[in-house]
C-alpha cells in the first residue's frame, strides 16, 4: 500500500456481487448467489471460519414445537415485545415465519443439531420466549450442543467452497465506492498480507461486517468486532439507525467479559445478591431469571447500586449453577464450565460465578428494509433504497430487534436476511446487467485516505496520538458514559469526550511502515470505524429522552410512545433525524404497544 500507485495502475476485479464479511450473514448470502450462478466475491479481514459467528453457543430460535407447543405468531409477539415495540413488525413477521425453514436448510447443509430421544431437533428455553402471547415459558432455541455458531459457520463455508464462491481471505475493506448519483459500485480493499490495494467493482455490494462490541471496555465480543461496515456506511453518507440501543448481556464474567450463555439460566441457573436472595423473583415474578436481557441487566445494576453486590467491592452478583449437579453441568454446559475453571479458577459445579452486565450486541446499524436493501431518507420519503447497496446481519438494522434483542434471534436474523438480501440481489441483477465503470477520481480519493498513515511526518512528538491510547480512552468513555443506566449529565459529558477523541484521531501516527501484515494500520482503520459508531451511539442516546429496551434513562424512566416510538438516524452530515416505526406486519394484525411485564 506504500507503493506509489495511482488509480490507473491499481488492480481491479469485477464481480456481480461483492460481499464484505464472511460470518453467517455474509456466507448465507454468498451461497444463495453462487448457487444462482452469479459471480460472487466474499472479502473477510480474518479467515472466514474465524468470524465472530463461531462464538455463538446458545442457539437459534424457530417455532418448531418440538419441546413445547409453539407457532411463529407467538415468536413474533415475543420479538415485538422483547424489542419494546421499536422493531419493525413487517420484518419481524417475515423473520419468524421464515425461521423453521432456515433451520431445516441448515440441517440440509450439514449442521448437526442436537436431538431429542424421538429424533426431533432439541430445543432449549431462552429468555423472553413464551407460549400463547405472553403465557408459559416456551422452548424455542435449536442448538448444536454448545457450538451452534461454529457448526453453522463451518457448514456454510464448506457449502460455499463447493459452490465456488470466490474468497478474498485476510483482505480489509476500507471504503465503499460511490458515484455522484449515490449508487454504490463496490469497495476498495487491501491485502493484509502485502498491503496491495484492490478495487473490487461490483453491480451490487452487501455489507455483512458484524457488530461493534469493541466500543466498550468490558465486552463479550472478540477484537474483530469494530463496526467496520457501519463506519463505511457513515462515510458514504448513510445514517446509522437506533445506535443508542446496545445490548448488555446480564451474565458476562464480572470485569473480564467472557460470556456465560443464557443457556445456563435456561438449564435452571439463577442469580443471587449478597444476601443470597434470588433477586429476579422481585423484578420479574413470572419469568424470573429468563426475563428479557435488558430487564435482567437492569436488575443486576440496581442490586449493585443499592449495595447488595457481592465481592470485596460489591460490584457484581452471583450466578448459581451448583444445584444442577456436576452431571448436568458437564453434559449441557461443558464450555462455560471450562471457561470458569481456566479464567477464574472456579468450578461452577462447586461455586457460583461472579457476573455483571457486559456489552454484547449492537441492535442498531445500517438501516435496511426486509429485502436487505439499505434505505435512507430522501426528501419526504423516509426509506429510499440506495442503489446497489445491501446490508445483513449484526451490522444491519432491519429492524427486528428493536430496543432489545432476544437470545437466539441473531443467528436467525443473519441467516434469514442474508438469504433475503441475496434473493433481492438476484432479481435486481436481472434488471441491472452491466458494470457502470468507476471514475478514477472516486478511487483516487479513497487511495489518498488509505495512504494517510504512510510515511513518517515531522510533527512534534507531543501532538502525536497512538491508536492504542485513543482506543483505550474511547472504550472507557463509552463504558462510563453510555452503559446500562444513563442520564443527561453523564451522556452530555460522554458526547463531548467522544467528539474530542474524534478530533484527536487526526493526529494518529503509525510507526510501522512495512507492507506485510501491517496490523497497526489495520487497527487504525478499525479505530476510525469505532469512532464513527461511538458518535452515532452517544448522540442518539443523549437525544432520546425516554427509557425503552436497552436504553434506560434515570431522568426519563418511562417509555414515551407518543414522542419516541420512532427510529433514530445519525449521520455525519445531518446529525440526528428520525423515522417512524413500521407497525404494520405483512399479514397479521399489529401488536400495539403495551406495558412490558415479565
Partner 1 sequence: MNSEKINPEKFRWQCRRGMLELDLLLNNFVDKEVATLTQQQKQSFEQLLSYPDQTLLDLLLGNAVSSDPSVAALIQKIRSVSLD
Ligand X SMILES: Cc1cc2nc3c(=O)[nH]c(=O)nc-3n(C[C@H](O)[C@H](O)[C@H](O)COP(=O)(O)OP(=O)(O)OC[C@H]3O[C@@H](n4cnc5c(N)ncnc54)[C@H](O)[C@@H]3O)c2cc1C
- Residue numbers at the binding site for partner 1 (CB under 8 A): 45-46, 49-55, 147, 150, 153-154, 170, 192-193, 219-224, 257-259, 334-335, 338-339, 341-343, 512, 514, 516-519, 522
Q: Which single residue is written with the C-alpha cell 445483513? A: 392
User: Which of ligand X, partner 1, none lies near 372, with the C-beta cut-off 5 to 8 A by kind?
Assistant: none
Instruction: Considering the complex, state which of residue 206 and residue 386 has its C-beta at the smaller distance from ligand X.
Output: 206
Counting every residue, how long is the chain? Answer: 598
Question: What is the grid cell recorded at 510?
Answer: 503509525
Q: Is 414 in the site for ligand X (CB under 6 A)?
A: yes
| Residue 115 a catalytic site member | no
| Closest CB to partner 1 among residues 130, 339 | 339
Within 8 A by CB and 6+ apart from 108, the residues are none
At its nearest, how many Å lie between partner 1 and the CB of residue 336?
10
Contact 53, 151 (CB under 8 A): no
User: DSSP H helical segments within 345-439, as ranges?
Assistant: 409-431
154 binds, among partner 1, ligand X, none (CB under 5 to 8 A by kind): partner 1
Which one of ligand X, partner 1, none is in contact with 22 (Cβ closer than 5 to 8 A by kind)? Answer: ligand X
CB nearer to ligand X: give 232 or 482: 232
Q: Is 56 in the site for ligand X (CB under 6 A)?
A: yes
Q: Which of 147, 293, 544, 553 is catalytic?
A: 293
Closest distance to ligand X from the beta carbon of 369 (Å):
17
**3-class SS letters over 309-351:** CECCCCCEEEEECHHHHHHHHHHHCHHHHHHHHHHHCCCCCCC
Q: Are 297 and 248 in contact (CB under 8 A)?
A: yes
User: Which CB, 397 or 491, lies closer to ligand X?
Assistant: 397
Query: Can residue 121 be called a binding residue for ligand X (CB under 6 A)?
Result: no
What strands, in cross-sheet order, belong to the sheet with 566-571? 240-241, 566-571, 575-580
246-285: which residues touch ligand X (CB under 6 A)? 259
221 binds ligand X (CB under 6 A): yes
User: Going residue by residue from 375 to 404, which x/- string records binding to ligand X, judged by CB under 6 A?
Assistant: ------------------xxx---------
Hey, CA dihedral for 93, 596, 242, 25, is it positive or negative? Answer: negative
CB-based contacts of 254, cutoff 8 Å, min separation 6? 311, 315, 316, 354, 355, 356
- Which of partner 1, ligand X, none interacts with 34 (beta carbon under 5 to 8 A by kind)? none
DSSP 95-109: HHHHHHHHHHHHHHH
Classify residue 165 by burial, with Cβ atoms within 10 Å: 0-12, 13-18, 19+: buried
Q: What is the DSSP letter of 222?
A: -
Q: Which of 574, 498, 501 is nearest to 237 (CA)?
A: 574
94, 122, 172, 246: which one binds ligand X (CB under 6 A) = 172
Q: Which is nearer to ligand X, 292 or 547 (CB)?
A: 292
- Catalytic positions, please? 293
Contacts with ligand X, residue ranges (CB under 6 A): 20-26, 43-46, 48, 51-53, 55-60, 148-149, 172-173, 208-211, 220-221, 224, 228, 259, 360-361, 393-395, 408-411, 414
Amino acid at each position: 500500500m506504500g507503493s506509489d500507485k495511482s488509480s490507473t495502475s491499481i488492480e481491479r476485479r469485477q464481480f456481480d456481487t461483492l460481499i464484505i464479511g464472511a460470518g453467517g450473514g455474509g456466507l448465507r448470502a454468498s451461497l444463495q448467489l453462487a448457487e444462482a450462478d452469479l459471480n460472487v466475491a466474499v472479502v473477510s479481514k480474518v479467515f472466514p471460519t474465524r468470524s465472530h459467528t463461531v462464538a455463538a453457543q446458545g442457539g437459534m430460535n424457530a417455532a418448531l414445537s418440538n419441546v413445547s407447543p409453539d407457532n411463529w405468531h407467538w415468536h413474533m409477539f415475543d420479538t415485538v415485545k422483547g424489542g419494546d415495540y421499536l422493531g419493525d413488525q413487517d420484518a419481524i413477521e417475515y423473520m419468524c415465519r421464515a425461521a423453521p425453514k432456515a433451520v431445516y436448510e441448515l440441517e440440509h447443509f450439514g449442521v448437526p443439531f442436537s436431538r431429542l430421544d424421538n429424533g426431533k431437533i432439541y430445543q432449549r428455553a431462552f429468555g423472553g420466549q413464551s407460549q400463547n402471547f405472553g403465557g408459559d415459558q416456551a422452548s424455542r432455541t435449536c442448538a448444536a450442543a454448545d457450538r451452534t455458531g461454529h457448526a453453522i459457520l463451518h457448514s456454510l463455508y464448506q457449502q460455499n467452497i463447493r459452490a465456488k464462491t470466490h474468497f478474498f481471505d485476510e483482505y480489509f475493506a476500507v471504503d465503499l465506492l460511490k458515484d455522484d448519483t449515490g449508487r454504490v459500485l463496490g469497495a476498495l480493499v487491501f491485502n493484509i498480507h502485502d498491503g496491495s490495494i484492490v478495487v473490487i467493482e461490483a453491480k451490487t455490494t452487501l455489507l455483512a461486517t458484524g457488530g461493534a462490541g469493541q466500543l466498550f471496555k468490558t465486552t463479550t465480543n472478540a477484537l474483530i468486532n469494530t463496526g467496520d461496515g457501519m463506519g463505511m456506511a457513515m462515510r458514504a453518507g448513510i445514517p446509522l439507525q437506533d445506535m443508542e440501543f446496545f445490548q448488555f448481556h446480564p451474565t458476562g464474567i464480572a470485569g473480564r467479559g467472557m460470556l456465560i450463555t443464557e443457556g445456563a439460566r435456561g438449564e435452571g441457573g439463577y442469580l443471587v445478591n449478597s444476601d443470597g436472595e434470588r433477586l429476579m423473583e422481585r423484578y420479574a415474578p413470572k419469568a424470573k431469571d429468563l426475563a428479557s436481557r435488558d430487564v435482567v441487566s437492569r436488575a443486576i445494576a440496581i442490586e449493585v447500586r443499592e449495595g447488595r453486590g457481592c465481592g470485596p467491592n460489591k460490584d457484581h452478583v452471583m450466578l448459581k449453577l451448583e444445584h444442577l449437579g456436576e452431571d448436568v453441568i458437564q453434559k449441557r454446559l461443558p464450555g462455560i464450565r471450562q471457561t470458569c475453571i481456566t479464567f477464574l479458577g472456579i468450578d461452577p459445579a462447586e461455586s457460583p460465578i461472579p457476573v455483571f452486565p457486559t456489552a454484547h450486541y449492537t441492535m442498531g446499524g445500517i438501516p435496511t428494509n426486509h429485502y436487505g436493501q439499505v434505505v435512507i431518507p430522501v426528501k419526504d420519503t423516509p426509506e429510499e433504497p440506495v442503489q446497489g447497496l445491501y446490508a445483513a446481519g449484526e451490522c444491519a438494522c432491519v429492524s427486528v430487534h428493536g430496543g432489545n434483542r432476544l437470545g437466539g434471534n441473531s443467528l436467525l436474523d443473519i441467516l434469514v436476511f442474508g438469504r433475503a438480501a441475496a434473493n433481492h440481489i438476484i432479481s435486481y441483477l436481472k434488471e441491472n446487467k452491466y458494470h457502470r465503470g468507476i471514475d478514477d477520481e472516486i478511487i483516487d480519493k479513497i487511495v489518498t485516505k488509505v495512504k494517510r498513515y504512510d510515511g513518517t511526518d515531522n510533527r512534534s512528538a507531543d501532538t502525536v496520538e497512538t491508536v492504542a491510547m485513543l482506543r483505550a480512552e474511547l472504550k472507557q468513555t463509552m463504558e462510563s458514559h453510555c452503559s446500562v443506566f444513563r442520564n443527561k449529565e453523564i451522556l452530555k459529558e460522554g458526547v463531548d469526550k467522544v467528539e474530542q477523541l474524534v478530533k484527536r484521531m487526526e493526529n494518529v501516527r503509525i510507526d510501522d511502515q512495512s507492507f506485510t501484515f501491517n496490523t497497526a494500520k489495520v487497527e487504525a482503520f478499525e479505530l476510525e470505524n469505532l469512532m464513527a459508531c461511538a458518535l452515532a451511539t452517544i448522540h442518539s442516546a443523549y437525544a432520546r429522552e425516554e427509557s425503552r429496551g436497552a436504553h434506560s434513562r434515570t431522568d426519563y424512566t418511562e417509555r414515551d410512545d407518543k414522542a419516541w416510538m420512532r427510529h433514530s438516524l445519525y449521520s455525519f452530515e445531518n446529525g440526528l433525524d428520525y423515522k417512524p416505526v413500521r407497525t404494520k406486519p405483512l399479514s397479521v394484525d399489529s401488536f400495539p404497544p403495551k406495558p412490558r411485564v415479565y
